Homo-oligomer: A and B are copies of this chain.
């Protein structure tokens, strides 16, 4: 029970971090406040929405108002404290990393729960973690950040997913394997950020 609350708390920190990245991009493009609110929400829930549409499952944010409320609260918070938000960029990065790891795991479990195989589930983890940012970039006319030589973002999800798949195949306890997968995502993303590790250009 405490575990569930803890997981939900981390998920909402991830929603906050994603939404803030959307608000900032919209402001940089001189969009209006409606545009910023929509793009923040699309960044936060876009990945999970695409996943739910692909695996034909009720769209998660329509089942509970929490995600919409959390995004709107994030918008208010961002408007009031945006100077501090920008200054504490490293804290946002931490939320973003925790959120990525949690989104990835939620995506994997959602796909498995809908009867998908492990390969598709790992892909749905990546989609849940990454597609929101692609939607944000499409709506603000940027080349998708995640396809460029930036940090290992999607790759962190892929390695986390591979860890989960391997752990399950080896018969370890599910909770332990989930925690391992989450730690792999956090570790890969943090290390790649710290050491500036990127993927090579497409040949």
Contacts and interface: CB of A to CB of B under 8 A. Distances in A.
Interface of A: 23, 26-27, 29-36, 38-39, 49, 53-56, 58-59, 62, 65, 68, 79, 82, 116-117, 119-120, 123, 134, 138-141, 143-144, 146-149, 154-155, 198-203
Contacts of A23: 202
A199 to B, nearest CB: 4
Contacts of A154: 34, 38
A91 to B, nearest CB: 20
Contacts of A141: 141, 143
Nearest to A23: B202
A54 B59 contact: yes
Contacts of A117: 65
B34 A199 contact: yes
A119 to B, nearest CB: 6
